[in-house]
Structure 1
Amino acid sequence: MTNPQGPPNDPSQWARPGDQGPLARPPASSEPSTRRLRPGEPGGHAQEPLNLPTQPAQQAEAQTEHLTASHAQTRRPGRATAHSASPDPTVRPAEPEKEPGPVKAKRRTRRDPLTVFLVLIIVFSLVIAGLIGGELYTRHVANSKVAQAVACVVKDQATASFGVAPLLLWQVATQHFTNITVETAGNQIRDAKGMKIKITIQDVRIKKTADSVGTIGALDATITWSSEGIKESVQNAIPILGAFVTSTVVTHPADGTIELKGLLNNITAKPVVAGKGLELQIVNFNTLGFSLPKETVQSTLDEFTSDLTKNYPLGIHADSVQVTSTGVVSHFSTRNASIPTGIQNPCFGHI
């Protein structure tokens, strides 16, 4: 695009003293755009208006100036944009700065005493719950094993329980059990009906060897035999004549005897400790209508009581016996007994 032709002596607007180049903006002026500056005047003061061309020439000049200014304005940002859009490849872009505010907040939250205290309480509660659960499970397993062994020996249902202190977990870890209590249902011991046993076991140390599982420091057992149980046991021990020989059992605590009354006889016997078990020694024997040798009856009673109260494992033996108003109470015990293996006695195979 070219500037319109002006007077021959009129310098072009591109060569004004105040301009910085062909792309510089024309200076703003409050006077009309038709006035021009002379090249020699300082400060670019306006000159008196000259005789301008006709109206079409003035419009063309104004349009040219407008387009030139617009072109300069559009080229300048373009250059700046191009210059800013082409970064130096050797310069790495700066990483965005991290905001330390949230990190400090998190650190403060972690260091909050209340939060730390709550975390410790939760951890402590979980540990306690784990210990309680482990203790209960260990007690259940241990009680079942001991009760199963006793039930196998006495032929009756049994329940076992370990002492409260120390914790059973600690006893299992050390293989040293301080106190165990076992009690049967009272239905029978072997073939002795109505006989019940309560056992207290102390100082059990598990140390498996070829012929032993461990040792028992002390075992004490209290056996009660009810009068009704004695009657039923004697009836079962004497075939056919049992019901006739013993229909009623009466205890006499004063002289320590029991009386077996039947339809045709009356037997008075005294429970005593014999060997490792108990025996019923006949003190008085009366028969009505038929003769039955006393020795025969005594032999039958001895055989019966021997099977019931002797040959217990662990070296358990009878210590004492006492007649009460409800039956007979005896005490059995053993000390420093060796626990047999499952091969020696199948009842101890689960220990």
Structure 2
Amino acid sequence: MTDPWARPTDQSPPAPSAELPSQPPSRDQPGQPGQVEQPAPAAPQPQGPSALAKVKKLLSDPLSVVLVVVIVVALVAAGVLGGELYARSRADKIVASIVGCVVQDGAKASFDPLPPFLMQHVTGHYTNINIETAGNQIRDAKGMKVVLDIQDVRLKETADASGTVGSLTANITWSTDGIRQTVADMVQLPFIGSAISDVRTNASNGTIELKGLLGTITAKPTVVNKGISLQIVDLSAIGLSWPRETLQPILDKFTAQLTENYPVGIHADSVQVTDSGVVAKFSSQNASMPKPVDDPCFAKL
């Protein structure tokens, strides 16, 4: 007989049910209603050194400091050089245009390398200017060329001047063919007229021969009244006789038109006959430059 209160031996206790852990909803699956999906936190960005730290690091390196100084100096020098070249080019063109207007021919001008042009421009004192004309003409004188050396120019406005010129030297050359063209264009001699067939120079006695169809005039260039004059030394005409006193005023008027009344007091100092023509030296000292109202050629100053 069995005990009804006894625990059955063939029965094992029920195994506890294992609970599966809850899985988070997949990103591809829609969330539960009422739930807001939170964005994932951004990854922290690495922070570089500050600008002040970079400057301190740069200044702590002597080589870097030297490189920075060299770069800065190079940039400043490039800027100054560019300004110097531009200012020189601009000034060369202005001076050339003024001289070209005076002589009625093309001209080239340049300033000496030293002192720097920008320094001269700031002070208004230009130490040395070199000018050369094209050689086509000076005013009405065909075939005449001038090389100018101008020193100590000061731009300072006064009541009657735009500045001063300390020293000016002009070396002029006049070719024989230029003399022939000029005399033919401007001079009407009684027995030659404008039919000048040839011009010859004699360097040994310093004379010029003007040959026409009916005669020849031999003249000697000299300095008269701060200009160049052709003084007649011999006349020869076929079947005609003309007194020298009749022809000399005609030549004087001709040469005065060509070589007198130049600006800034330019005047003739010497003249010499060569095998190819005539050379002359003109100059001026401590002269005033005219104002634009007195000479329009100086308006660009």
Identify the TM-score tier after normalising by the shorter chain.
Answer: 0.7 to 0.9
Give 1:102 shift.
8.1
Alpha-carbon distance in 2 for matches of 1:104, 1:290: 103
Contiguous gaps of at least 5 residues in structure 1: 1-50, 72-95
Contiguous gaps of at least 5 residues in structure 2: 1-5, 22-43
TM-score relative to the length of structure 1: 0.70
Give 1:137 shift.
0.7
**Structure 1 contact 237–300 (Cα < 8 Å) conserved:** no
1:215 aligns with 2:159: no
**Structure 1 contact 158–185 (Cα < 8 Å) conserved:** yes
1:57/1:101 Cα in 2 relative to 1: closer, same or farther (>3 Å)? farther
Q: Which residue of 1 aligns with 2:13?
A: 58
Q: How does 1:132-143 map to 2 (within 5 A)?
A: 132-143=81-92
Identify the structure with the greater helix proportion: 1
Q: 1:242 is paired with a residue of what secondary structure?
A: coil
Q: Which residue of 1 aligns with 2:273?
A: 323
**Structure 2 contact 215–238 (Cα < 8 Å) conserved:** yes
Identical pairs, percent: 52
1:340/1:57 Cα in 2 relative to 1: closer, same or farther (>3 Å)? same
Q: Which residue of 2 aligns with 1:179?
A: 128
**Structure 1 contact 236–242 (Cα < 8 Å) conserved:** no
Give 1:167 shift.
0.8
Report the residue type matching 2:181 in the other structure: E
1:199 aligns with 2:154: no
Q: How does 1:161-180 map to 2 (within 5 A)?
A: 161-180=110-129
Q: Which residue of 1 aligns with 2:223?
A: 273
Give 1:127 shift.
1.7
**Structure 1 contact 149–348 (Cα < 8 Å) conserved:** yes
Report the residue type matching 2:253 in the other structure: E
**Structure 1 contact 234–242 (Cα < 8 Å) conserved:** no
Query: Which of 282, 294, 298 does residue 344 from structure 1 map onto?
Result: 294
1:225 aligns with 2:178: no
Query: What do the CA deviations read for 1:208-245 (whole angstroms, capped 9, x no partner)?
Result: 2232111111011111111111111111122484344x
**What is the root-mean-square deviation in Å for CA atoms of aligned residues?**
2.7
**Structure 1 contact 259–266 (Cα < 8 Å) conserved:** yes
Q: Which residue of 2 aligns with 1:156?
A: 105
Give 1:182 shift.
0.7
Query: What do the CA deviations read for 1:251-292 (whole angstroms, capped 9, x no partner)?
Result: 122221112222211211111111121100001111113344
Report the residue type matching 1:163 in the other structure: D
TM-score relative to the length of structure 2: 0.81
Alpha-carbon distance in 2 for matches of 1:304, 1:250: 18
Query: Which of 229, 246, 255 does residue 205 from structure 2 map onto?
Result: 255
Query: Which of 303, 306, 312 does residue 256 from structure 2 map onto?
Result: 306
